[in-house]
Structure 1
């Protein structure tokens, strides 16, 4: 009973937190603790964010950001999953490339903007490449880790019955690793959205949500538009995460976390 009640309370507690933060920002903006040109009241920012929903040029920019996000994330997954399966299946290959992987992983994607821009230009290709580079690591390492967590007894049983390496991979290892891959994709989706907006923000030209925020920051009294753009970015991130969490729960009901949640509900 407590587990089910706790799950019912979670959305309400989140809403309470949002309302408290909204109230604090509203009061700070109204009473003049901070100049309105620096921090407008939260209500004005929300109204402006709603107004932008009717601005076709703004929505086209949001669409451009989402397209770059989807392409970069898709490219990252297409690279990371096969590579993670290869590294997790063949320890010799993992040992051979581990130093290279650990060297590349800490490099911030934004620091590569000048180099990638020289190689690919300043268009969507650069944005997609940077997004893919930043997003590949969570999926890659989750795939390798998930492969190591698959049941060795099941794999040995299949091998004893004459199944080859590929059959074991497809029948046991890949299904067992899928929840870990999905969790990595969810993490990478947030990273990809951050990189999409940040790359546009730093470039300052073209189209996209980041470009809108950058141009608003240069305008006189553009703080409200900047914060409205930030609200849109946060809302997109929240929506993407919510959809992916929902998908994980529906696709992988056998995972331990999901079973524990279901078990608490049944025992209530």
Structure 2
């Protein structure tokens, strides 16, 4: 079994990942057919795929997908904007950091789902209710990362720019941004995933239009295969978001040492 402990190269890792997915899909198909799991509650993969194909042919599915992506995009955009501005202020100004540290540590651990009653009370079951959950959950990822990046700016480089009386715009672009950008990109990647999770959660619990609401409707109507098909769609959506953000990260940070090391593996 020595090969289990041997580091895999990029091609071997890719094939290992494919093999893992294939084994998982085979289990989804075989276990219900053999009676290992109840097919009424967990239908075989072939039925789920058939239900997915049927769903793809309906305008309701594409409308729900568009609603989910719209809610996710708006919530993510607002979270990133707030997180970047607040993170730069908190990380770049020590006095602000001292005044806000305790408040942030108190508010950050509160799960956003705890605000569902308040969101419904304020906005009903509309998109704004789910946006409240998304913004509260996703803004912390961006704020904390940008704050760390602002604190990590080289004080020697900053003082040198100040002593030479470089314009503030020059200092921002050439000193602050190169340091903060890797942190901000990491925060964006984390916020994108969290925002999608909360978008689906809001649709599931609050009833905001989207894929989550379709899942609830399928579950309540007994369309189990269709329900699992929609769950698979949310999984593929999450995977697509992660892949796209990773590609953006490599493009934006192509000059950064971490990206160059990753490309050499």
Tell me the TM-score normalized by structure 1. Answer: 0.90
Partner of 1:136, secondary structure, is: helix
TM-superposed deviation, 1:234:
0.5
Partner residue in 2 for 1:56: 59
Q: 1:7 aligns with which of 3, 10, 31?
A: 10
TM-superposed deviation, 1:10:
3.0
Structure 1 residues 109-118 or 160-169, which shifts more?
Answer: 160-169
Within the alignment, does 1:35 sit opposite 2:63 as a pair?
Answer: no
Structure 1 residues 139-148 or 43-52, which shifts more?
Answer: 43-52
Return the alpha-carbon distance in structure 2 between the equivalents of residues 146 and 162 of structure 1: 23
Give yes or no for contact 2:127–2:209 (8 Å, CA) kept in 1.
Answer: no
Return the alpha-carbon distance in structure 2 between the equivalents of residues 170 and 256 of structure 1: 19
Unpaired stretches in structure 2, ≥5 consecutive residues:
1-7
TM-superposed deviation, 1:166:
5.5
Return the alpha-carbon distance in structure 2 between the equivalents of residues 39 and 166 of structure 1: 59
Partner residue in 2 for 1:260: 261
Partner residue in 1 for 2:239: 238
Return the alpha-carbon distance in structure 2 between the equivalents of residues 166 and 101 of structure 1: 29
Partner of 2:255, secondary structure, is: coil
- How many residue pairs were aligned? 258
Within the alignment, does 1:65 sit opposite 2:105 as a pair?
Answer: no
TM-superposed deviation, 1:167:
4.2
Q: 2:198 aligns with which of 186, 190, 195?
A: 195
Within the alignment, does 1:100 sit opposite 2:99 as a pair?
Answer: no
TM-superposed deviation, 1:164:
5.5
Q: 1:170 aligns with which of 173, 180, 185?
A: 173
Q: 2:219 aligns with which of 212, 217, 225?
A: 217
- Distance change (3 Å), C-alpha of 1:259 and 1:151: farther
TM-superposed deviation, 1:136:
0.3
Return the alpha-carbon distance in structure 2 between the equivalents of residues 200 and 174 of structure 1: 36
Structure 1 residues 18-27 or 153-162, which shifts more?
Answer: 153-162
Unpaired stretches in structure 1, ≥5 consecutive residues:
none
Return the alpha-carbon distance in structure 2 between the equivalents of residues 178 and 54 of structure 1: 42
What's the CA shift string for 1:8-53, capped at 9, x where partnerless? 3333222111111111121111101111111111222123223322
Return the alpha-carbon distance in structure 1 between the equivalents of residues 225 and 50 of structure 2: 10
Partner of 2:9, secondary structure, is: helix
What's the CA shift string for 1:52-87, capped at 9, x where partnerless? 222111110111011000000000001000100000
Tell me the TM-score normalized by structure 2. Answer: 0.91
Partner residue in 2 for 1:250: 251
